[in-house]
Amino acid sequence: MGKILIVGANGAVGQSCISKLANKDLVLISRSGFDDNSDKGSQITKHVLDINDYAKTSEFINNIDYEISGIIFAIGSITLKPFSSTSIDDFKKLMDDNFYNIVNFLNLSINKFEEGSSVVFFSTIASIRGFKNHAGIASAKSAIIGLSNSLAADYSPKIRFNTISPSLSYSKMSEFITSNDKVAEGLGKLHPMSRLGKGDDIASLASLLISPESSWITGQNFSVDGGRSTLITK
């Protein structure tokens, strides 16, 4: 049995994935180090690595001496600007942080996957439903959906690829929005489920998609968004 890599393991979703996959052989990757509560499983290896650093990423992958049974890419960034204020450099940075780094990681590691393995990506509901000031991040995250679908076709049946598109959830990355309780409450009420998401809400699906229990699911994009992308209740 191969190992599951969680890239972005120190974020809210990554931490929740660790808890839900605690009985698995996990390799945790984080560019910011690790909190104490990342020690939730008996078979955990930790690596401090920024996958935007292609040289160090190549060195890390070249040293992998095991088969990969899955990768959860729980990484990304949030930059919200009007299109008129979003420069080409802004678009390039968003692609670097949300797309090209993942493409590079997979390109280097794809031959190390075992039969029946799985990859889980993260996009955003802004790739499906238009929101103001999301042109940059929605474009970068839309590329992830296209990549996932194409790789699912290329590598079936050996490797499955699926994407989760969450709405706004509580995380370190979204603290600049959610740290204001009144703002968070108001944004939560925009969702039919009347709250923002939590790491566990998203990790529950990720842990299913990375497991053999979802062996007939590939090339799909799942909205985990409290109903916001499809339901109108008010």
Interatomic CA distance for residues 66 and 117, integer angstroms: 13
pLDDT in tens, the chain (234 residues): 799 999 999 999 999 999 999 999 999 999 999 986 566 656 899 999 999 999 999 999 999 999 999 999 999 888 899 999 999 999 999 999 999 999 999 999 999 999 999 999 999 999 989 999 999 999 999 999 999 999 999 999 999 999 999 998 778 777 878 889 998 899 889 888 888 889 899 999 999 999 999 999 999 999 999 999 988 886
- At 197 the pLDDT is 86
Domain residue ranges in the chain: 3-172+199-223
Is the peptide bond preceding residue 192 cis, with omega within 30 degrees of 0?
A: no
How would CATH label the architecture of 3-172+199-223? 3-Layer(aba) Sandwich (3.40)
Q: 70-115: per-residue pLDDT in tens? A: 999 999 888 899 999 999 999 999 999 999 999 999 999 999 999 9
pTM for this model (two decimals): 0.94
Q: Is the dihedral of CA 33, 36, 41, 43 positive or negative?
A: positive
